[in-house]
Chain A
Amino acid sequence: MAGPGLWFSLLLAAALAGRAAALWPWPQYVQTSESHYAIFPYNFQFRYHASSAAQPGCSVLDEAFQRYRDLLFSSRSWQPPEPARKQHAPEKSSLVILVGTPGCNELPSLESGENYTLTINDDHCFLLSETVWGALRGLETFSQLVWRSPEGAFFINKTEIEDFPRFPHRGLLLDTSRHYLPLTSILDTLDVMAYNKFNVFHWHLVDDSSFPYDSFTFPELTRKGSYDPATHIYTAQDVKEVIEYARLRGIRVLAEFDTPGHTLSWGPGVPGLLTPCYSGSHPTGTFGPVNPILNTTYEFMSAFFLEVSSVFPDFYLHLGGDEVDFTCWKSNPDIQAFMKKQGFGNDFKQLESFYIQTLLSIVSAYDKGYVVWQEVFDNKVKVRPDTIIQVWREETPVHYTKEMELITRAGFRALLSAPWYLNHITYGPDWSEIYMVEPLDFKGSPQQKALVIGGEACMWGEYVDSTNLAPRLWPRAGAVAERLWSSELVTSVDFAFKRLTRFRCELLRRGVQAQPLNVGYCEQEFEET
C-alpha cells in the first residue's frame, strides 16, 4: 500500500524543510533539503528562457512576474545588501521560466494543462511547464517557497517539485444575486483563488432576488430586475474586466443563468416570461418559473443566450435547472391544457424536461457546452452525453456519493459540491470536515471515477455580502482547493492544519482577510483600513 510510505515521505519532507511545509495546496512530488540560497530583492528577476515559447510581451506571464515580485518583496525599491551579508549563502538572482507551447493570448479551458516542474539546486533556478497556465501555478508555488530570516533576508531552499492537479475543474461559486458583490470583492476573490490554485470562477450571476447582469439585448432586465440599476449592476465592461482578470490568473469564468426556476427577478424586465400563478380561475398577480409553453419564451431565450454565449467566452455555460417549484405551473389553466395536449398527464417533471431540452438545443446551437444542477439528471431530462452534472444535494433524493455513482454510471461527467457549501457555517474548525471529503469515494469502475472532473466550493449569498465574504471564504475554501489539487493520499489533518495555519498567515501578509483556524497569531495581523 502506497499510503503510509508516501505519508512518511511527507513527514520527512516537512521535518527536513520547515519552509516547504508552508506549501498549500501540497504538490504531487516535493523533494527539498536544508541547503538554501539567498535571494536579493534589488536584483532578483523572473526571466524567460531563450527557448521558451513565451517571451517578453506575453501578457499572462509579464503581469504574473510583476504580481509575484510585489507579493514576494512588496513594491518598494530595494538597495543592494552589505557585501558581508552576501556571503553566507550562494545567491539565486533569477527564476528562469521555460514554457513549451505558446498561448499567452488564449483563455484557459477545461483541457488546459497546468503541470509544471520547479528545480532549485546549485545549477538551476528553473520553472518548466507545458503551458502558461502551468507556469502560473509554478510561480505561486515558488512564491510560497521563499522565506525570510528574522533579520529580513530572503532565502529559498534547494527544492525539486513536480506538480500537476488531480482534477481539472477546481471551482468556487459566488452568488451575486442574493447580495450584490462590488467588483472589487470579485477581483479580490480571484486573487486568492489563484493563491489556492483554483481555476474556475462559477459566477451565479442572477437569481430570484436580483438581476445585476446588464444585458445589452434586454436592458430592461437590469433596469427593472436589479436592486439598484444605478449601482448594483455588472456592466459589459465589468464583465470583461472580471474575465480578463481571471484569465491572467489562469481562471475560467463559468457564467450561470439559472432557469426555469430561480428567475423571479427576470420577470419585471421581460413581461410574459414568467408563469402567472392562479388561485382557482383568477391570476393571483404572482409569478412562478419561466413559462415553458410559449414560443415567445424560447425566442427570448435564443436571443438572450446568443448574447451570453458571446459575452462569456468559456466553452461552458451553467444553465442551472435546480429546485423548480411546480405549484405555480399546476395552478395555471393554460399550462394544464398544454400538459394534456403534450400527453404529460400530471407529471410536471416532463414539462420541466420539455423546457430544459428546448433550452439545451438552443445553447448547443451556439457551440457551447453546458453544466447543469443535478435535478436535470434526477428528473431524467434527455441531455447531450457531454453534459456536466453538478451534484449539490447532500442527502436527497440519495446521498451525494450515490448520486455521483448514478451520474457516472450513466456516462455523464460529474462535479461535486454537495459537501462544500461554505455558506453553511458552524462553530469551530469545520475546515477539516471539508478537507476530509474524498470526491471519488463512491462505488464505481475506474471509467466512472475518470468522469469526475472536479468540484466546487459554493458560497451562496443569502447571508453573505462584501462585509463577511472574505473571512467566510478563506481559509475554508482552501481545504477544498487542496482536496481537488493534491494527491488523494494527502489526507493528514494534522499536516494540513500546520500548513493551512501558516498559509492563512501568508494570506494575511498578502492583505487577505482570512479568518483564523484556531487560537494563535500571525506576525502580521489584519488591520482595518
Chain B
Amino acid sequence: MEHRGLGLPALLALLAPCCCAAPGPTLWPMPLSVKTSPRLLVLSRENFSIYHDPSSTAGPSCSLLQEAFRRYYDYIFDFNKSQLGPAKRNSAVELKQLLVSVVLEPECDLYPSITSDESYTLAVEGPVAFLKANRVWGVLRGLETFSQLIYQDSYGTFTVNESNIIDSPRFPHRGILIDTARHFLPIKTILKTLDAMAFNKFNVLHWHIVDDQSFPYQSVAFPELSNKGSYSLSHVYTPNDVRTVIEYARLRGIRVIPEFDSPGHTQSWGKGQKNLLTPCYNGPKQSGTFGPINPILNSTYCFLSQFFKEVSTVFPDQFVHLGGDEVEFTCWESNPEVIAFMKKKGFGRDFQRLQSFYIQKLLGIVSTVNKGAIVWQEVFDDHAKLNPGTVVQVWKNEMYPVTQAAVTAAGFPVILSAPWYLDWISYGQDWRNYYKVDPLDFDGSQEQKKLVIGGEACLWGEYVDATNLTPRLWPRASAVGERLWSQQNIKDLEDAYDRLTIHRCRMARRGIAAEPLFTGYCNF
C-alpha cells in the first residue's frame, strides 16, 4: 500500500472520535433505483471533464448545459481546495469523462414547466460515465446526483463507486415559498436559495412577492405601486432583478411562480393605486382605513386586467398564483356601497359570495392572458366556481388530509403545504416531522391521488430576512425535498438522518449556511 500523500492531518483524522459516516457516496434525495458496486474509480481535477456525448441532441450551443457542466465541475473539485492533491492509487481505474446525452428535443432555451421530463439514467463505469436524459431538465438532476456520488477518500483522492442509477421524481411540483413582502430579500439571497434548491432537486420557486406590508415588485404599467408601497426605494425588485431571478432559476431547472395575493393581503397596493381598496366605514363615515380590494368597482377589474397582463408577460411560467387567502369581511360589511351592491346582486349577507364574485372575475382575467391559476385553499372552501385545472394549495394544518380529499374529489389538482410551514420553528429536530408526512395519506381513489401534483415548503417572512433565511430553510426544507422527489417507501428516519447530516455538510461546503441537524461537525 502506497502511503504517499498521507499527511499528519489525515492520520490524525483517522483517530478522531465518531466522525460522520465512513466515506462513501451520500445521495439526497434518494434516487428511484441505485446500484453501486464496491469497485472504485478515481478522478482528478486535471484529467476529468464533463462533455456532450456525440449522440446527444444537445451540443455546445446549449448554454444551459455548458453552464451546468462548469458549475458541477466546480462543485466536484473546487470546494475542497485545501485538501491534499491527487494521490492516485495504482490499482484504481481512472474515470476520465462524464458524457451527457440528451435523447429528445433538448429544450435548451425553453422554460421548465409542470410537464417537464426530469428523468435520467446514470451509468458510472471506468473510464467513461454516461448520463442520459430525454431533456436538459433530467440532465440537471443527473449532474446533481453525479456530483453527490463523488467523495474524497482519506488520502484526499476523488473517488466514485461504479454505479447505475435510474431516477425520476415522484411529484412534478416541488416548491419552496419565499416571502419578500414581510421582509425584503436581496437578490443575492434569492439566487443563493435557488442554488440550494437545485442541490435538493426542488423545481418551483413560489415567490410570494407582495403582501400587506410592502410592494417591492416594480411594475412597468403601475410604477406607483412600488414607489409608494415598497419599504423604501432601495427595497424594490426592478424588471431586471426579476429577469435575473427567472433566468438563474431556468438554468437550474426551476420554475418561478409569482404570487400576487388578492383581494386580502393587499394593504401595500393601496398606497400607489387610489380607489383600489375598500374604504372602511365607522357608522356613516369613512374611517380612513382600508380593507381588501374593492370588488364592486369596474375600475378594480380594469386595473387587474392591465396589471395581470403585465405579470403574464414578465413571468413566463404557465401558472400565476392568485392568493385568495384570509379575506377579512369586516371592512366590506361596514361599507354601505358594498352592502348595496350585495343587495343588487342578491348575495344577501353572504360575503363569501362577494369574494367568489371577485375571484371568478379575476380567474377570468387571468385565463384571457392564457395563464393557469393557483389559489390558496379558501378559494375552494368558499365554493367559488373554479375553472377546471385551477390548482388548489392546501395550507391550513388542521385536518389537511380531509381538505386534500375534498379538493381532489371535486377534480382539482392539489399542492400540499399544510405540514411544511418552516417558519414555525421549535427546539430540536423538527425536520423529522416534515419527513414523516406522506402527501398521499388521505382517503381517496387512485384518480384523486393522481391529482396531488406535489407540495411546497413555505418560509413566511414575518420573522425571516436575509440574516436568518438560509439556516432556517436548510437542511429543514431538504426533508421536504426528498419526500417530494423520492419514492414513498424511502422513509427510514435513521438512514435519512445519516444521509442528511452529510448532505448538509455538502451544502455548507458549497456556500450554503445550512444549520446542523445535531451535535457533530463537518469534515472539511
Contact = CB atoms under 8 A, between A and B. Distances in A.
Interface string A153-196: 00000000000000000000000001110000000000000000
Interface string B425-452: 1111100000000000000000000000
B514 A423 contact: no
A231 to B, nearest CB: 8
A168 to B, nearest CB: 31
Interface stretch (A248-256, A371-379, A485-493, A516-524): A516-524
Interface string A206-231: 00011000000000000111111111
A464 B516 contact: yes
A230 B12 contact: yes
A425 B519 contact: no
Given A463-B428, A468-B515, A521 B214 contact: yes
Contacts of A513: 467-468
Q: Which of A232, A429, A468 has the most CB of B within 10 A?
A: A468
A8 interface: no
B187 to A, nearest CB: 10
A514 B467 contact: yes
Given A427-B426, A467-B515, 13 more contacts: A224-B17, A228-B13, A229-B12, A425-B426, A463-B517, A467-B471, A468-B516, A519-B462, A521-B183, A523-B232, A523-B234, A526-B465, A528-B188
Contacts of A231: 9
Contact of A178 (B186, B214, B519, B523): B519
B15 interface: yes
A403 to B, nearest CB: 22
A14 B13 CA distance: 57
A426 B426 contact: yes
Interface of A: 178-180, 209-210, 223-232, 265, 268, 423-429, 461-465, 467-468, 470-472, 508, 513-521, 523, 525-528
Nearest to A504: B467
Contacts of A180: 521
Contact of A528 (B17, B192, B428, B461): B192
Contact of B520 (A179, A464, A519): A179
B426 A228 contact: no
A268 B16 CA distance: 10
Contacts of B519: 178-179, 209, 461-462
A210 B495 CA distance: 24
B189 interface: yes
B471 A471 contact: yes
B513 interface: yes
Contacts of A428: 463
B184 interface: yes
B41 to A, nearest CB: 27
Interface in B484-524: 508, 513-521, 523
Contacts of A526: 465-467
A228 B16 contact: yes
A179 B425 contact: no
B325 interface: no
Given A228-B521, A513-B467, A528-B186, A467 B462 contact: no
Across the A-B interface, the 3 shortest Cβ-Cβ residue pairs? A230-B9, A468-B471, A471-B468
A518 B513 contact: no
Nearest to B181: A519
B12 A425 contact: no
A457 to B, nearest CB: 16
B189 A425 contact: no
B514 A467 contact: yes
B15 A224 contact: yes
Contacts of A229: 12-13, 15-16
8 contacts: A178-B519, A428-B463, A464-B516, A467-B470, A518-B463, A519-B461, A519-B462, A528-B186
Contact of B462 (A426, A514, A518, A528): A518
B521 A520 contact: no
**Which of A226, A426, A521: most chain B CB closer than 10 A?**
A521
A527 B183 contact: no
Given A179-B516, A427-B426, A230 B13 contact: yes
Nearest to A229: B12
A513 B468 CA distance: 8
A231 B467 CA distance: 27
Contacts of B184: 521, 525
Given A463-B515, A523-B232, A525-B186, A223 B520 contact: no
B117 interface: no
